[in-house]
Amino acid sequence: MKQKKRLGPFDIYKLLPKSNCKRCGYMTCMAFAVALISREKQPRDCPELQTEPFLPVLEFLEGYFPPGDHLEKNGMIIHRDLCTGCGDCVAVCTYALSTTGKVGYLKKREPTDPVLQIVDGVVRVINAEACKRCMDEPELCTVCQSKCVFQALDLVSPPES
């Protein structure tokens, strides 16, 4: 299984025109790069990427940020083409839900319904409300993403409710 290199904002910024033209709706190309990662914008929202010298970059970015990416309520994006259904993310998420606290301190919590489940060979979010990232006092939990060796999960800021 081919692994996808995870791009950060600086990686994306290096590919952009760096003109800060503001025609995408953001003040800078760096802000646009961050908006791409959080799925607030699509690559075609940058008019300069649609010009001749940047067409290969546009094609690459559209492949990296496919229009069909669905942002779950907990800020998770599942790349179904990369998910093998191994269930590692489900196991670590279920354990993380049973504990709470700071690094080095574990405190048992009441059991909760699982957030993730393998359905038809692919992970799915079945209960986003139970995710630590969606709680009243959200925690920046990334255990599911860090456990996925296939990089099938991306976590961005949860959408505003």
Provide the terminal-to-terminal Cα distance of the chain, rounded to the nearest Å: 35
The domain spans of the chain are 9-64, 76-155
Residue 1: is its pLDDT beyond 50? no
Per-residue confidence (pLDDT) for residue 66, from 0 to 100 = 79
Per-residue confidence (pLDDT) for residue 106, from 0 to 100 = 54
CATH H-level superfamily of 9-64 = Electron transport complex subunit B, putative Fe-S cluster (1.10.15.40)
Tokens 């590692």 label which residue?
88
Judged by average pLDDT, the poorest of 39-48, 58-67, 109-118 is 109-118
Per-residue confidence (pLDDT) for residue 105, from 0 to 100 = 55
**Cα distance between residue 108 and residue 56, in whole Å:** 51
- Give φ, ψ of 64 to 5 degrees: -75, -40
pLDDT digits (tens, 9 = 90+) for 80-124: 888 999 999 999 988 887 765 555 555 555 667 889 999 999 999
pLDDT digits (tens, 9 = 90+) for 7-17: 889 999 999 99
Strand partners, 123: 118
Residue 30: is its pLDDT beyond 70? yes
Residue 48: is its pLDDT beyond 90? yes
The one-letter amino acid at 152: A
The angle at the Cα of 136, spanning 130 to 142, to the nearest 5 degrees, equals 55
